Amino acid sequence: MRMSRKMEHVEHALRIGQVGNQGLADIKFVHNCLPDASVDDIHLHTAIGDLDLSSPILINAMTGGADETRSINRELAVAARECGLAMAVGSQMSAIKNPEVASSYRVVRSVNPDGILIGNLGSEATVEQALRAVEMIGANALQIHLNVMQELIMPEGDRSFKGALERIADIASNVPVPVIVKEVGFGIMRESAAKLIRLPIAAIDVGGTGGTNFAAIENARRPQAYEWLNDWGNPTAIALLESLSVWPRGRVIASGGIRNGLECAKALALGASAAGIAGAALRVLQTEGTAALIDYLRRIHEELRLVMTALGAASIEELWNVPLVVSGESAEWCELRGIDIRTYARR
Ligand code: FMN
């Protein structure tokens, strides 16, 4: 069951594509006609907690667990290696339950022996399973995903989500690598972010709406679709503003519908230290191949350097201090939720 589900997710994700709006159009940079900067001086290095990265772009968790997914992971790992990016694998629970499929995950380490690789499990995992996931790929960090709405829409999905915080705390205290808690595309909002900051985890990945839509993907697999849930969740821009009202800059990752360098720059300027790309990278890989994926990721680096030059921000830390105006639905939302967006506009 789990093995065929992996390829169904890939196929439905490609067919449905990136859905809706991640809200970054509401975030505007203030043009600087005297940036006193040069493209050659832009540095893209960053850190997620204590994990140093040469690029703020991260290939986010997608797959593994079936034969066909082994080649996807292999090619994503080649692209990550060529572009110097961190990469997460999809949930490793299938390999923990069925060790025969572990090679579909391990392939990323054999292709990219020195790269930053991130393991992935759900919040139902035990400490022992988390240790095995880290060991399986020689992971430099471990993502724990939160996907309540996806599970609820899946007929075979989990029905109880009790005790997740305690299990995550236990994992984070016992694995030898930093733990990142991530959403799969419904958004981490302030109340949840405030609970997560009390845990011994390194970072959160806000994973908002506006990109891959797991409600739509699971509905495509259901005999009777709950289509009324297809717009559940909150956009990435709002999830970032909410999470960064509780979490410090440098410990938040942006993801959900990020596709180009300008969107990355906006997410980083809001205070994220990295931006995850999943669905858009998968589409390029599956429709145009590995060389095109490498070109696409290099182009995002170039776009990011271009935008940073225009803003006079030579590093990600400097990007955190350029003025940003939040307007439209995101501003209205923040006003109602008591999130201060004026400091972004006046810094
Ligand atoms: N996230 C996880 O944490 N674990 C997974 O196993 C996982 N599987 C995914 C499979 C596919 C085919 C895709 C497209 C995404 C998957 N995700 C998973 C979610 C992504 O990591 C990401 O959070 C989400 O797709 C939003 O980013 P995007 O809009 O750039 O795709």
- ipTM confidence score: 0.99
Residue where the block lists tokens 């305690």: 166
Ligand 1, atom 21: closest residue by C-alpha = 61
149 lines ligand 1 (CB under 6 A): no
150 lines ligand 1 (CB under 6 A): no
Residue 19: which pLDDT band, with cuts at 50, 70 and 90?
confident
Number of H helices, E strands in the chain: 16, 12
Q: Give the whole-angstrom CA distance, residue 137 versus residue 134.
A: 6
Please give the residue range of the domain that contains residue 272: 2-345
- Kindly give the distance from the C-alpha atom of residue 81 to the centroid of ligand 1, in angstroms, as a whole number: 20
Ligand 1, atom 11: closest residue by C-alpha = 62
Residue where the block lists tokens 């845990």: 199
Question: Cβ neighbours of residue 178 under 8 Å, at least 6 residues apart?
Answer: 48, 49, 50, 51, 141, 142, 201, 202, 203
Ligand 1, atom 23: closest residue by C-alpha = 184
Q: Give the whole-angstrom CA distance, residue 88 versus residue 142.
A: 8
- Kindly give the distance from the C-alpha atom of residue 176 to the centroid of ligand 1, in angstroms, as a whole number: 24
In 3-state terms, what secondary structure has residue 302?
A: helix
9 lines ligand 1 (CB under 6 A): yes
94 lines ligand 1 (CB under 6 A): no
**Straight-line distance from the first to the last Cα atom of the chain, in angstroms, rounded to the nearest whole number:** 52
* Strand residues in 110-257 grouped as ranges (E): 117-122, 141-146, 179-183, 203-205, 252-255
Shortest-distance atom of ligand 1 to CA 145: 3
- Indicate which CATH number applies to the domain containing 328: 3.20.20.70
Ligand 1, atom 31: closest residue by C-alpha = 279
Nearest Cα residue to 117 out of 99, 138, 94: 138
pLDDT, tens only, 284-341: 999 999 999 999 999 999 999 999 999 999 999 999 999 999 999 999 999 999 999 9
Would you say residue 2 has pLDDT above 70? no
pLDDT at 9: 95
- Kindly give the distance from the C-alpha atom of residue 320 to the centroid of ligand 1, in angstroms, as a whole number: 26
Shortest-distance atom of ligand 1 to CA 22: 29
Task: Say which range, 3-17, 171-185, 276-290, has the weakest mean pLDDT.
Answer: 3-17
Q: Give the whole-angstrom CA distance, residue 278 versus residue 322.
A: 27
pLDDT, tens only, 79-89: 999 999 999 99
Number of domains, the chain? 1
Task: Answer for the pair 279, 211: CB distance below 8 angstroms, yes or no.
Answer: yes
- Kindly give the distance from the C-alpha atom of residue 185 to the centroid of ligand 1, in angstroms, as a whole number: 7
57 lines ligand 1 (CB under 6 A): no
142 lines ligand 1 (CB under 6 A): no
pLDDT, tens only, 41-83: 999 999 998 999 999 999 999 999 998 899 999 999 999 999 9
10 lines ligand 1 (CB under 6 A): yes
207 lines ligand 1 (CB under 6 A): yes
Ligand 1, atom 8: closest residue by C-alpha = 62
Would you say residue 3 has pLDDT above 80? no
Structure tokens belonging to residue 78: 């080649």
